[in-house]
Amino acid sequence: MDHQQGDHGQGQHQLPGCYRHKERETGISCTRCERPICPECMISASVGYQCPECVREGSGTGHSPAANQPRTVAGGLLVSDTRLVVKILLAINVTVFVAVLAVGDDLVSRLAMIAYAIDPGTFSMVGVADGQWYRLVTSAFLHQEFWHIGFNMMALWFLGPPLEQALGRVRFITLYLLSALGGNVLTYWLMAQNVLSLGASGAIFGLFGATAVLMRRMRSDMRPIAVLLGINLVITFLPGLNIAWQAHLGGLIVGAVVAYALVHAPRQSRTAVQYGTCLAVLALLLVACVVRTSILLG
């Protein structure tokens, strides 16, 4: 947790000076350009504070319309509805859940995550290793119990909007899907190959990791998210609950890594760093899947 040192008599504890008023020490930085700004130069933005120059650039003074649109800390476009993607994801999950209630276990067996096993109904091999790669994604939108979808959707509703606002819609959905995939890839590696796994928990834990990274970036109080994440991790590893801890851990790691790249990418090469990191994470996950498949088939 960041805090300001009260002793300014020693150089190593001295705070930087405002970029416009060098004599004024400050611990606050502009969320866009990261230059230190004093209270006089702070302009409240959707997330944190911005300096006068960044606000002026976002207002349309002397630049093309495309470049003048206000941007978030991650470079995404500011939007009025910060729950649009969250609502779409929630609707997909609820729709699939209703379909499961209507159709039954057959839909679950077709869409859930499973590595490689014999289908007791047809006595044929099924699973990701058998070429059903779609299970790595479809299982992340699949729930069977009311408590399971209720917990995950509640977490999505509360964790999603701040991230969608701070990252922008495209970056947010990328983070969500990569976290879901990361959770299922680790499940593919570490869970018994004939055990079904389903649920959005991998993606949700990715949002937990991303929230922690964003709060650290904004110099916010880390205690609330640390306590919440700690409680959920303890529950994850409690014996007897049959929770796929592999999905939780994989989603958490991928979410934190992707979020770090999104909010810490240097402004001059922001897009290249962000796209490059997301593509590198995706490539690593796909390679891991290929290797695991070769092991199971071998």
Kindly list the catalytic residues. 201, 248
Amino acid at 98: V
Per the DSSP assignment, residues forming a β-bridge with 50 are 43
Please give the Cα distance from 259 to 14 (Å, whole number). 29
**At residue 187, what are phi and psi to the nearest 5 degrees?**
-60, -40
Taking the CA of residue 243 as centre, how many other CA atoms within 13 Å lie in the half-sphere pointing to its CB? Answer: 18
Q: How far is CA 161 from the centre of its chain?
A: 12
Q: Which helix (H) or strand (E) holds 83?
A: none
Residue 126 three-state SS:
strand
DSSP secondary structure, 130-162, as one string: GT-TTHHHHGGG---SHHHHHHHHHHHHHHHHH
Q: Which helix (H) or strand (E) holds 286?
A: helix 270-297
